[in-house]
Amino acid sequence: MAVTDRRPQPLRGPARARPHSNLRILRAAVLVAFAVLAVRLAQLQIIQGDEYAERARSNHLRAEQVLPPRGLILDRNGTLLVENVPVYRATLVPALLPRDPEERYRIYLRLEEITGVPAVNIRQLVEEAEADGKEDAAIEVAGHLTQEQAIVLDQAAPSMPGVSLSVTPSRHYLGGPAFGPLLGYIGPQFAEDRALYRAQGYLPNQPVGKDGVEFAYEAALRGSPGLLIAEQNAMGEVQRVLETHPPAPGSNVQLAIDAGLQQYVYDLLVRSLGEATTAAAVVMNPKTGEVYALVSVPGYDNNIFQNLELRGHEYEALLRDPRKPLLNHALVPAAPGSTFKLVTAAAALQEGRITPSTGRNIDSPILEIRGENGVIYPLKDWRTHGYLDLRGAIAWSSNIYFYMASCGIPQEGIQGLGRDPLESANILGYYARAFGFGEPSGIDIGGEMTGVVPTPEWKRRSRSGPMFNPEDRDWYLADTCFMGIGQGDVTATPLQVARMTAAIANGGTLVTPHVVNAILDSDGNVVQRIEPKTKPVPVAPEHLQVIREGMLLSVRQGAGAAAAQPGIEIAGKTGTAEFKTPDGQTKEHAWFTGFAPYHDPEVVVTVYFDLGMGGAKAAPVAGQIIRYFMEHRQP
């Protein structure tokens, strides 16, 4: 039997070569893959290692504080006087920009297309931030973008690492110039105050109140910042929000101000200016101190300060304006003129120097008073009055009568308030301060000046400089006489005159004026109510009643007759105060202060013009304000 060889025979032809060919291809593919991976790994770790390490470090959690919405300001009837509006800004974080200079400049050019800010300026901002070690902080490239610019930037930001659209709160004031000095405005924190604000929990970009109600009630209006914790990638894009703490909005502030009355008074003063350049008016409740209107002319548009980039020229014009519109002229002092005679009357009655029936026949407009060492002072009245008692002297605003009541008439043996001019001046000063002159009224907004109640000591101190002669520092009989009629060195603000008038109208209580009635939460609930603050004046009620009767007579048939309104019993006092202009001319301030209705006063009105006669210019304006108030007052 034959033996067969059973060993496997080798394959021949194409079938034999196939497995070896596939293995070679597989080996080559593996080698190529490893080579690619090695090259890529080398690129990532060696060539681009620093860049990706930086990107890796940039992948982190971002904790961002969120600005709170500022509280609103409303008038006493709930009318909105200011609203919050968004301001769109283009911001950039230098640390998130690409390292490649060309890539960076491409972003700068795109920002220039959107915002209009030159690319070279943007590059300079970035380089300055990096030089100062602030590359991680957002810098503002452009502010106050239009809504169209904001939309374009928001859409383009994902393709520009480090760039984002920032939205910050701002204000839009609805009332115009009539409300400017009253409400004030908000603005950025001053550099010197930032540490103080930061200690109080403010964010660096959080605006703050700068004047008026915005400044005075900053603590209530500001709110508390919120917090947003998010994960962001190396491009600065938020990947997901991890935690949020919403900001607490500021409280709303409700004013005692009536917006319609405020606007009416402002328009009326502007129409009545004539030769005057500034004017002011105060309308207040004589019993509570609520200020219904606090008007200063000229006013200003407080929206200017919300966009100084575009409206800076308007701000510069305000600074250059000689009328000083940024001041609240209702809080700026001037010589009060004959309105001050009400204080002199109260002092003389209380000190027992005159009685309501004390009279004098004023048959000449000049009274010669013999002063120190026989010096004769020719003191003038504005007309010949004939016989006047105290009520008539108030009604017709006689200078000579109040010279007699304050400094006396020595050659006739009529003593003034004191035994000599110095004592008389000190006594008169005591009553002036008791009625609120020469000191802050305590009103709840800033910008108030105190005015001057002169005393012999004050005169010595204020004239101690080398420009004054020694005799200029002495107090003379004429100083007391002029003080008694609200001239000389006496100055007072329209608010102080209104406060004095309120004390006479209400029977002897000096009220503290306030423009805010309450602090409200966001739901309208009262958080804090501003309560009246009062103190008595040291004058007997029966003496104040005599003064009120003289004021009523003034409007019925005296110097204040132009304030009369049909169907309304108004009591008032005119004032015309002489002053010297810088070029030496003698001009007059015009005043009127009064209250109504006479038997149960609801309102005090004080009107001031820097040029004019009190009876002819200020009185009719005050009468119209009183009529408007009585016709529009709320129950």
DSSP 290-358: BEEEEEEES---GGGGG-HHHHHHHHHHHHH-TT-TTS-GGGS-B--GGGGHHHHHHHHHHTTS--TT-
Q: Which of 149-163, 206-220, 441-455 has the lowest mean pLDDT?
A: 149-163
Model confidence at 581, pLDDT cuts 50, 70, 90, reads: confident
More confident site: 44 or 372: 372
pLDDT-based confidence at residue 24 (cuts at 50, 70, 90): low
CA atoms within 13 A on the CB side of 66: 14
Q: pLDDT > 90: what percent of the chain?
A: 63
Most confident by average pLDDT, 128-137, 297-306, 365-374: 297-306
Q: For the chain, which domains are there?
A: 87-169 (3.90.1310.10), 337-436+454-489 (no CATH)
Over residues 293-308, the mean pLDDT reads: 94
Tokens of 357: 């029936």
pLDDT-derived band of residue 507, with 50, 70 and 90 as boundaries? Answer: very high
Judge whether residue 86 has pLDDT over 90: no
In this prediction, residue 19 carries a pLDDT of 52
478: pLDDT strictly greater than 90: yes
Prior bond of 597 cis (ω within 30°):
yes
State mean pLDDT over 448-469. Answer: 90
What integer pLDDT is reported at residue 265 of this predicted model?
98
Q: In the predicted model, is pLDDT for residue 52 greater than 60?
A: no
48 — pLDDT class (breaks 50, 70, 90): low
Look over the chain and give the mean of its residue pLDDT values, rounded to a whole number. 89
Q: Token digits for 503? A: 């004390």
Segment 267-291 shows an average pLDDT of: 97
- DSSP 8-state secondary structure symbol assigned to residue 362: E
pLDDT score, position 3: 45
* The predicted structure's pLDDT at residue 4: 46
Q: Where are the beta strands (DSSP E) in 431-525?
A: 509-511, 516-520
**Which carries the bigger pLDDT value, residue 523 or residue 242?**
523
Task: Kindly provide the b/e burial profile for residues 51-68, where b requires at least 16 CB atoms within 10 angstroms of the residue's own CB.
Answer: eeeebeebeeeeeebebb
pLDDT(27) > 70: no
Return d(Cα 68, Cα 321) in angstroms, integer.
Answer: 36
Q: What's the pLDDT at 35?
A: 57
Task: Give the span between the Cα atoms of 72 and 98, in whole angstroms.
Answer: 42
Token digits of residue 130: 């990096």
